[in-house]
Each structure stands twice: as structure tokens, then as C-alpha cells.
Amino acid sequence: MITYNCTIQEGVISGEQREILNVRLVQIGAAVLGVPQDDITVSYEIIPHGFGFRGGEISTSSSVRSRIPDGCSQEKRVEFMQAVQDMWMEVTGQTTDELVVGAADASYRNYQE
């Protein structure tokens, strides 16, 4: 199972772009990590305009946090995150300075202890 939790700023990414992101995120999870598409979910938290700031300015940043299957190799994790980043920037026009991508599995919990 893969869950994507995306945080975006209101007005930065359109509904049409979110629909494309949904499809493409599912495709990436299936292609890179081999997870069946029916076992992949995408959700969004939308920060109201003016409630997010970066560098003293209203933020245009987004984040994509994902929970991926346990036991994923670091090489595969990097490939997955790079694919998510590249696709997100292509669809939204956001830059690397506006996007944070993360992928955690059980090893993340072990790392924190």
C-alpha cells in the first residue's frame, strides 16, 4: 500500500492539475514500487491563502509525503522520490525550491528510536 499526503497552498495548484497529479502519482507508485493501483491513495491538505509563509512571503510551496511498503531499498526510494518530484514540477510548474518530497516506511520509525 502507498498513501500520498499532499500539502498545497490554496490557489497555487488548480483542480485540473490535482486530477492529473492523482493519476500520475498512482502510476508512479505502481511503476516504480510495483504496488497495485487499487492499493494507492492520494489526499490533499489545502492551506488557506495567507496562512502559509516562507521567507517572509506568502508561500507557494507544496509537500508530498508518502508511506511506502516496508523494506524498500534506498536506491528504489530515491528513484521513487525523484520520479514524484520530476512529475510534480512538470504538471505544476513548481521548482525544486517550492517542493518537498518524502517517502517513509517502517525503517523510518526504527531510525527515530
Q: List Cβ<8 Å contacts ≥24 apart for 21-26.
A: 21/87, 21/88, 21/91, 21/92, 24/87, 24/91, 25/64, 25/84, 25/87
Closest C-alpha to 68, from 33, 111, 24: 33
Domains and CATH numbers, the chain: 2-112 (3.30.429.10)
Q: Average the pLDDT over each of 6-10, 26-30, 56-60, 105-109 and give the range with the smallest value.
A: 105-109
Indicate the residue type of 68: I
| Predicted confidence (pLDDT) at residue 36 exceeds the cutoff of 90 | yes
Residue 110 pLDDT: 52
Q: What is the pTM of this model?
A: 0.91
Report, as an integer, the average pLDDT of 49-65. Answer: 94
Calculate the average pLDDT of the chain.
Answer: 94
